[in-house]
Amino acid sequence: MKLHAADILVIFWLGILTVSTVKGSVASQIAPRSSCVDLSTQQLDIRNLAKYEMQHIPVKAVMFITRRGIKICMQPDLKWVQNAIKFLDKRRPTPKPKSKPKSKPKGN
């Protein structure tokens, strides 16, 4: 059986189309966000914490993110966890109110 140049080109383009379609559908999927499943019991030094996120699903937890980017999940009802949240909230800079631009005096 002989393949003509047109047949080879059609097979080639079908292969390219199939690969790009599969690659595009896999790449377009959204990666899941980090979530807490296991909760740590060890108390952390709040000076090393950068921020936190509250989570309700699959478990109720507070995810602390350290200055190095390490994520650690804790039970939200622990007293030191609540104190750490208050500490981080106080440390968070409050946005400055935008001042109105000064209007130029009208020349007479």
Report the CATH number at residue 61. Answer: 2.40.50.40
Number of domains in the chain: 1
Label residue 70 left, alpha or beta by phi (over 0 means left) and psi (-120 to 50 means alpha).
beta
Contact 88, 45 (CB under 8 A): no
Residue 29: per-residue pLDDT: 47
In a domain, 24, yes or no: no
**Residue 3 covered by a domain:** no
In-domain check, residue 55: yes
pLDDT tens readout for residues 53-102: 998 888 899 999 999 999 999 999 999 999 999 999 988 766 666 666 66
Q: Are 51 and 65 in contact (CB under 8 A)?
A: yes
- The string of pLDDT tens digits covering residues 32-66 is 467 888 888 889 998 899 999 998 888 899 999 99
Nearest 10 degrees: Cα torsion 47, 51, 57, 60: 30
